[in-house]
Structure 1
Amino acid sequence: MTPTADTAVGLPELPGTRAAGCPFDPPPALHALQTDSPVTRVRIWDGSSPWLITRHDHMRTLLGDPRVSSDPAQPGFPHRSAGMRERDRRSPTFINMDDPEHARLRRMVTAPFAVKKMEALRPAVQRIVDDLIDGMLAGPGPVDLVEAFALPIPSLVICELLGVPYEKHDFFQRHTKVIIRRSSTPEEVREASEGLTDYLYDLLTVKRATPGDDLLSELAVKRVATGEMTQREAARMGVLLLAAGHETTANMIALGTLALLENPAQLALLREAEDPKAVAGAVEELLRYLNITHSGRRRVALEDIEVGGRTIRAGEGIIFANDIANRDPDAFPDPDRLDLTRDARRHVAFGFGVHQCLGQPLARIELQCVYSTLYKRIPTLQLATRIDQLEFKHDGFVYGVYALPVTW
């Protein structure tokens, strides 16, 4: 039987609190649970008590299990917040659907994000990175690396890919921040989500009449016009790609830079790396080590499932703590150490199974261009403040820093 809000009192609470002075590490309570009780109930914001999965092997097994559902309409689904519960109910996207509907919609945007397609974007991404560095070097310092560099890179790229005018970036960034903030009310999330959806709905109408060489035009002409999907579905898909395409990568750029500045020996390895494979490996290790999507992947069991000596009953929620799974010592020896020479390719920063992140090839290229360029071109890059003066994004579903003042 699923515990009620009353009987859930006394269970570990999620999200936990990071230790002071350890901004890159998951909360200590997650370490303790992974060691002592890797499959356990926790208490979340609404008083419910879903299961928390903290082991790397358990996570990969369950995320590939068809008895585990991504559908937030299923009873027992552990929503991230009241605001996200509202959004999940009113604006469903394919990432919150099960097959076959999930597969049907995902297939419509799989080809544009294929590895070869994304690789063809590398020269354009590299130009954006170089141009922004030129701008920083030409201007006064210190510079906020978030606003001057980390945020514009993925925003420019995803706008170009989707066919959204970059001049609207303030609009969609402002609305996205509301959606991913844990404290946003259902009304605030609904207004922000509908504002983005309405904008892209209108843009799809324009694209259908005068299509260009971009993803929204392809959806408008090949999917909406043929009746394969509704225009509202296409608009919601656009919102998902637009938001996910800039917020996560921007935070990885800034937080990754901070982690490297705090680990000068590892920064030196990356600065001196000439082999693209070494840079690619460093990106995977930074993704593992930082794991900025720190609110866990949310699912619900459709049938009884045995895992780690426990039974998760049908209708019970499941939260996959991918941040601590990426620090599992059975999967990654000495996991709390940043080691850019480590083979970290089995990390779960992008999830696992049929719902793993669609945009991961693009994110990898953006991060590879940044990490192979920024520290070579500005070898004396350093913080312009103390790390304990930085404000971290503890209140959101994506972790990072609000600002990163740097100088050289």
Structure 2
Amino acid sequence: MRSVAAQPADQPVPAPAPVEVPAVPAPVQPPAPVIVTPPPQPLVEVEPEPDADAEPEKQGFKVRRNFAGSIQLDYMAIPTEKTGRQIALDGATAEASLKVAIDFNGRISANVKMCVACHGVEVGMAYFDLRVADELNFRVGRFTPAFGEFPVRHDPANHRTSDKPLPYDMGRMLRINDYNEGVLPSPWVDNGIELNGTHFFGDSLQLDYAAYAIGGPRAGADPVDFDFKMSRSGESYYVDNNSRPVLGGQIVASIVTPKLTWSAGVSMMRGTYDPEHKLRFSIIGAHMVLRAKDVFLRLEYLTRRTKMSLGEDPMERFKYGPGANGEFDPYMVKDGGYAELEIPITSRLTVLAREDALRRRGNVVKNSGLRSDSVILRHTAGVAVGLWSALRLKVSYEYYDFSDFENESVIHLGVVGPF
């Protein structure tokens, strides 16, 4: 027992503990250079910026594609006419759009859209967007230039009626041949280049702008107005007819909050439309949109001043003679606007009321049914009912009040859906 107790008295034996002391610094020294080595390694990797850029470039080859489209079938009936085709393109009309959007990276994207309607197959868009910053984007190709508010939502799936407001009408209004459509049919598609961008002032205020040069409206020899078929028909080639670009632009200011959005803008387009680039035109527009939760109030006005060709014998060509100064006025003015209120009643039911007008002032050719000052007033009431998923039923009634013809009633029944 004592011998066992004597052993603790001999505890100097822990002298081997000093042997552990050199063993501790020994492993400590190797980590020291290891700790110094990692910092330079990341610095060496971060310094060559091309390597960091190379990774996004590799990712850029994995382009993101998005396919979307919409289909609308609308039946237009004119109960006040025995044969509606004499004054409009009535009956069933199908409108379909197929769009492919491709994002190559954060700065380059492309959009291609095909449309099918009463005018046949049409290239609705085919362009590249080259984004430098929020404030500067280059759009090159075939596109709808920035003008007004309605063209932004011209697709049938994006508005609650089967037809468009009169200033933007394209083929569905009554007396289409007499008035030669609206002020600027929508969508107006053309070749050219557009610079656009957005600048944000804080969280609620933003300013959007656009400036562009396009081929512009077209017409044949000695015209008195645009020939819209030449602008949308591939048979006439998608090229400028007078070697002169048409210039235009838009500025829109917006206030955006979670419950309220207000925007107002002005637009302009001007140039020549005849082959000899002698007949000038100018279009000016203004719009305002107010959204309170899901309720929309839209106001828009357009006016176009167009120079007509008087021809070799104006007395023989036009219905009205010269003015007090003994000369024929070569200008005509076509303007129009609309006010539209859209109110959702339930998640599936939306009601809409719209008042729109179209007016033409100026001399007319002898065989025209119009006067020197002709007006259309149209009153519209409609509902949009959600059916299944995104499929929607559209029903609307329109009453046309003509200054030169008998008043007419129109009923639209359509089904539309995006995909």
TM-score, L = length of structure 1: 0.22
Q: Going by fraction, where is strand more abundant, 1 or 2?
A: 2
Q: Could you say which structure has the higher helix fraction?
A: 1
After TM superposition, the score normalised by the length of structure 2 is: 0.21
